[in-house]
């Protein structure tokens, strides 16, 4: 089947191997051990003369210790778009340039090498350019990557809310009801922070995050936090209620 990928350089092509290919297995290990992207982890290895000589991963190769809230998910960006909105997804931190950086640091001549990438089904234009500029001859991906690593399938696994409820402060009941309706689609709920018409105690060390209205934005606080984890602003396409739910999906 000829799969249309968002970008392929003129005169170049993707090469394919099964997911259990030995070099792809090494790329999978790089993904698991090195990726700093909790949303869409990708690992990659460089192969020269039949041996893995360098390994790297996306998210700048810094293993994530906390869940990252990605603005691209909040604002529902299409695949390949909105990289400038998120420092974790900046093209410089993609697996391909990180691999070239690792090879350079080891003094490896990358001319004529091959790269094996696990976790994605295509490479963006800046990443292809980086590989080609360094003389990488072939880019291998998993033969069923368009299904295995489709955005919907990956996000179905990585976007599973840890919190089942969010507390809404500073909005009227119809707004809270709309947030609650959308939250129910992801197995969560939203409640207004009032008891008998007066503000309820803030959860502090409680078990639910808070979406708190300010004059110009909505701040999302994790339980017990004094600083917001994310700040939502009006957007011409994505309503505030959807943005709140898109943040909750990542918490």
Question: Tens digits of per-residue pLDDT, 91-115?
Answer: 899 999 999 999 999 999 999 999 9
61 with 126, same domain: the answer is: yes
225 with 113, same domain: the answer is: no
User: How many domains does the chain divide into?
Assistant: 2
45 with 127, same domain: the answer is: yes
**pLDDT above 90 (res 129):** yes
Q: Does a structural domain hold residue 10?
A: no
Sheet order of strands, 230-232 included:
189-192, 165-169, 210-213, 218-221, 230-232
Q: Does a structural domain hold residue 8?
A: no
Q: So what's the pLDDT on residue 61?
A: 77
Q: Does a structural domain hold residue 54?
A: yes
CATH number, domain containing residue 32 = 3.40.140.10
140 with 173, same domain: the answer is: no
36 with 148, same domain: the answer is: yes
121 with 149, same domain: the answer is: yes
Q: Does a structural domain hold residue 234?
A: yes
Q: DSSP alpha helices (H): ranges in 87-230?
A: 95-105, 125-133, 145-148, 151-158, 173-184
**pLDDT above 60 (res 196):** no
118 with 69, same domain: the answer is: yes
169 with 154, same domain: the answer is: no
What percentage of the chain has pLDDT greater than the value 70? 93
pTM: 0.84
**pLDDT above 90 (res 148):** yes
**pLDDT above 60 (res 187):** yes
| pLDDT category of residue 197 using cuts at 50, 70 and 90 | very low
Q: Cα–Cα distance between 197 and 55 in angstroms, integer?
A: 57
In Å, how far are 167, 191, 195, 221, 227 from 204, measured between CA atoms? Answer: 12, 16, 16, 10, 12
Condensed to tens digits (0 to 9), the pLDDT of residues 14-68 reads 999 999 999 999 999 999 999 999 889 999 999 999 999 999 999 987 776 677 8
Q: So what's the pLDDT on residue 203?
A: 44
Average pLDDT, rounded, for the chain? 91
Q: Cα–Cα distance between 183 and 177 in angstroms, integer?
A: 10
Condensed to tens digits (0 to 9), the pLDDT of residues 198-233 reads 444 454 445 899 999 988 999 999 998 899 999 999
């Amino acid at each position: 089947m000829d799969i249309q990928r968002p970008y392929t350089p003129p005169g170049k092509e993707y090469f394919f191997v099964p997911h259990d290919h030995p070099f792809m297995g090494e790329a999978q290990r790089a993904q698991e051990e090195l990726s700093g992207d909790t949303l869409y982890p990708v690992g990659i290895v460089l192969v020269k003369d039949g041996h893995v000589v360098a390994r790297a991963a996306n998210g700048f190769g810094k293993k994530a210790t906390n869940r990252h809230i990605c603005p691209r998910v909040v604002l529902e960006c299409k695949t390949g778009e909105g990289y400038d909105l998120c420092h974790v997804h900046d093209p410089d931190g993609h697996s391909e340039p990180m691999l070239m950086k690792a090879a350079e640091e080891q003094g490896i001549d990358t001319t004529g090498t091959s790269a094996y990438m696990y976790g994605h089904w295509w490479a963006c234009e800046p990443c292809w350019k980086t590989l080609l500029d360094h003389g990488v001859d072939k880019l291998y991906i998993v033969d069923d990557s368009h299904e295995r690593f489709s955005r919907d399938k990956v996000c179905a696994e990585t976007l599973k809310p840890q919190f089942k409820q969010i507390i809404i402060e500073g909005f009227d009941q119809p707004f809270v009801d709309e947030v609650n309706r959308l939250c129910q689609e992801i197995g969560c709920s939203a409640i207004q922070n009032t008891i008998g018409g007066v503000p309820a105690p803030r959860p502090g060390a409680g078990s639910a995050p808070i979406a708190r209205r300010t004059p110009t934005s909505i701040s999302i606080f994790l339980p017990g936090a004094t600083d917001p984890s994310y700040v939502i602003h009006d957007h011409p396409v994505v309503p505030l209620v959807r943005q709140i739910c898109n943040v909750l999906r990542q918490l």
